[in-house]
Structure 1
Amino acid sequence: MPHPLAALALSMASALGAAPTPSPPAASPPAVRFEPAGSERAEQARRLLKESDALRTKIRLPRAVEVVARDCDGRSAAWDAQESRITICYSMVDRMDRTLTGISETEEADARAADRRLDAALTAFFHHELGHALGTLGGLEDPEGQADTLAALTLAADRPGQAVPAAEARHLLAAGHAGLGHLAGEEESATFACLLYGADPAANAAIAKGGWVPAERAPSCAGEYQEARAAAGPLISRSP
């Protein structure tokens, strides 16, 4: 039986072959807007997100996309294909910050480790939403697994220096921490880590050494990455 990721790659390749040729990528990365926060906690989350590098990207999309950060309790983030808008909620940033701070304190790591982990987790989460945008704007259906695969591919292309931190942060959050949406799930985390490791096994060796991808799977990760990258093909493009 083929690996689930291989089946996903074949599905992506088939859909891309059947879909109309995408329009030329937009010349600019997504525009980002931060709305006012309605509480002290939300304001802290707004500041953390704005001061991080998580929303910095050179990934080009088939048409203009807006990223909006705002108060929206009860949600984490969403891609709206009709409005071409990614929404990121301050409540999710707050939950992620408190969760990673708690994990770092338990490990007796310093505050800088928690800050690095938060920036990496936010980067992974943002690229997941970019994955939704790329898939739907490229004429594909929109399953979570596909968005996750595209997230790893865009992050590896766009922010290679964040590959190891993003794999670690997602591994830490994978065990079903409440309110963290698409970053939960140990199997999903392992696939995300495998693709990032496979993108550059030498530079990202810490992913395998850290055990964030199962040891028996690590040797196949370069092939999994190449297969997924070939299937995604023209969807992954960066501004100069």
Structure 2
Amino acid sequence: MPHPLMALVLSMTSTLGAAPSSELSVRYEQPGSPRAEQARKLLKDSDALETGIRLPAPIKVVARDCDSAEATWDQDERRITICYQLVDQARRVLDGISETEETDAGTESARMEATLSVLFHQQLGHALTTLNGLPDSDAQADQFAALTLPADAPKRVVPAAEARHLLAGHSGIDELSATAESATFSCLLYGADPAKYHRIAQGGWVAPERAPSCADEYNRVRSAIGSMAVKAGT
């Protein structure tokens, strides 16, 4: 049975193959370079830009070439933009880490797919924040992401915590580079189900002294905003 703290966001079984929300449209624009094409393929093959979360209004998701490496939420346009340049930057950093660690291909692929899911769910968090009339902030978006990511892609939760921990402190990936925010995000993911996601604590992506309080941290977030981050049809 699901951990009781996940009851609100996991009242329906979720898989990576679940149908996306009917309120979400996704468009992949034509890439302008081989590296951008690789980024487009990574995004599309990963299914990272999909969600079964109930949305308060229709949202467009656009993957495209940009002048800078970023992901953004435009409230006026109700549009999430994921830039191929950001995907490419994250890929190159993770490739470098994998080469240093001599990581196997499966682990490297899981980290990359999880990173793409985190990038999307952060922007989905900004969308849910503003569309529900809450003050927008990166911290608030992360809190939503800690609810929606396990609901949409539970198998990516542990590699998401690992990837964000590895990317923290690296320049060029502003959405994932903050060390303190990475630790809080990992704590919330771990707190969603400490038994299921025990590898987050074992990996050291949450400080040992903080780990026992993560379930309470997650529960406070769930109590505050969980009703705005539920699966469609619940």
TM-score in terms of structure 1 length: 0.86
Cα distance between partner residues in 1 of 2:66 and 2:115: 19
Q: What count of residue pairs does the alignment treat as equivalent?
A: 214
Contact residue 28 and residue 239 of structure 1 kept, 8 A: no
Cα distance between partner residues in 2 of 1:236 and 1:186: 25
Matched residue SS, 1:187: helix
Partner of 1:184: 177
Contact residue 29 and residue 58 of structure 1 kept, 8 A: no
Contact residue 110 and residue 156 of structure 2 kept, 8 A: no
Matched residue SS, 1:86: strand
Of 125, 150, 153, the match for 2:147: 153
Partner of 1:117: 111
Cα distance between partner residues in 1 of 2:94 and 2:103: 11
Write out aligned runs for 1:211-230 (5 A). Answer: 211-230=204-223
Contact residue 37 and residue 46 of structure 1 kept, 8 A: yes
Q: CA shift at 1:57, angstroms?
A: 1.4
Gaps of 5+ in 2: 1-20
Matched residue SS, 1:33: strand
Write out aligned runs for 1:159-198 (5 A). Answer: 159-175=153-169, 177-198=170-191
Cα distance between partner residues in 1 of 2:195 and 2:108: 25
Matched residue SS, 2:62: strand
Cα distance between partner residues in 1 of 2:23 and 2:166: 29
Write out aligned runs for 1:35-46 (5 A). Answer: 35-46=29-40
The Cα RMSD (Å) is 1.4
Contact residue 152 and residue 196 of structure 1 kept, 8 A: yes
Residues 181-217 of structure 1, C-alpha deviations (whole Å, 9 max, x = no match): 2111111011000000000000000000000011000
Partner of 1:232: 225
Contact residue 120 and residue 162 of structure 1 kept, 8 A: yes
Partner of 2:133: 139
Cα distance between partner residues in 1 of 2:25 and 2:184: 29
- Does 2:93 match 1:80? no
Cα distance between partner residues in 2 of 1:43 and 1:161: 26
Q: CA shift at 1:29, angstroms?
A: 4.6
Q: CA shift at 1:73, angstroms?
A: 2.5
Gaps of 5+ in 1: 1-26
Counterpart of 1:129, as a letter, is Q
Matched residue SS, 2:50: coil
Cα distance between partner residues in 2 of 1:112 and 1:203: 20
Q: Which deviates more, 129-138 or 71-80?
A: 71-80
Partner of 1:31: 25
Cα distance between partner residues in 2 of 1:123 and 1:88: 11
Of 24, 41, 46, the match for 1:52: 46
Cα distance between partner residues in 2 of 1:205 and 1:237: 23
